[in-house]
Structure 1
Amino acid sequence: MYAIVNIAGKQFKVTQDQFVYAPKLDLETGASIDFDQVLLAEADGTVSVGAPLLAGAKVSGKVLDHVKGDKVIVFKKKRRKGYKKKNGHRQDFTKVLIESITI
């Protein structure tokens, strides 16, 4: 069984007992969360597609931790001008454990 769910504006394909690194959510560590924007669900070979959402479908999870992603280097250069600029960025993520999927 799997589902495609919208979490903070991004779509994730989730299964039960899976870890998902979603964009940062304003929740405490250990908090329970329900995602009701389920776009598609599959159970026992039967695929249910929403138009645009599945009515009554819900994915519940638990916030495990708030982490940072890998560092991305942003390097800008203009040749023959002596212009170089180097910046780094680390994106904030929330680690979520998917506990159950109900259709």
Structure 2
Amino acid sequence: MQALIEISDKQYLVKAGDKIFVPKQKAAAGDVIEVKTLMQVNQADSALKAGTATIKVLEHVRDETIIVFRKKRRKRFQKRNGHRQHMTQVEVLSL
């Protein structure tokens, strides 16, 4: 069974046992959180059942570097910045 869950205003299609990266959560590593389920999908049908999914916080990490480059032509202006977003890796325990 798969379910569509919502974490921090983002939606993920997951099944039990999946490990996904989500925006940083306030929970500590090892904590168990319940999030709302928007839709549950079986093999034959999809039902709009609102329920809860149980997820476990595995670790807090930082995402890959995104390069932000700005340039103004004919002015010798170039600026290069990097940005790394804070992420949380979670595991879906049950739906």
TM-score for both structures, normalised by structure 1: 0.88
Report the RMSD for the aligned CA atoms in angstroms: 1.0
Give the share of equivalent positions with the same residue, in percent: 35
Residue 49 of structure 1 and its aligned partner are, at CA, apart by: 2.2
Q: Which runs of 4+ in 1 moved over 3 A?
A: none
- Matched residues, number: 95
What one-letter code is carried by the residue in structure 1 that aligns with 2:7?
I
Match runs of 1:6-17 below 5 Å: 6-17=6-17
Deviation readout 1:8-40 (Å, 9 max, x if unpaired)? 11011111100010100001100000002x211
Deviation readout 1:15-70 (Å, 9 max, x if unpaired)? 1100010100001100000002x2111124221125xxx2xx11101000001100
Residue 86 of structure 1 is matched in structure 2 by 80
Farther-moved stretch of structure 1 (38-47 vs 13-22): 38-47
TM-score for both structures, normalised by structure 2: 0.95
Match runs of 1:1-103 below 5 Å: 1-36=1-36, 38-49=37-48, 54=50, 57-101=51-95
Q: Which runs of 5+ in 2 are unaligned?
A: none
Whole-angstrom CA distance in 2 between matches of 1:81 and 1:44: 60
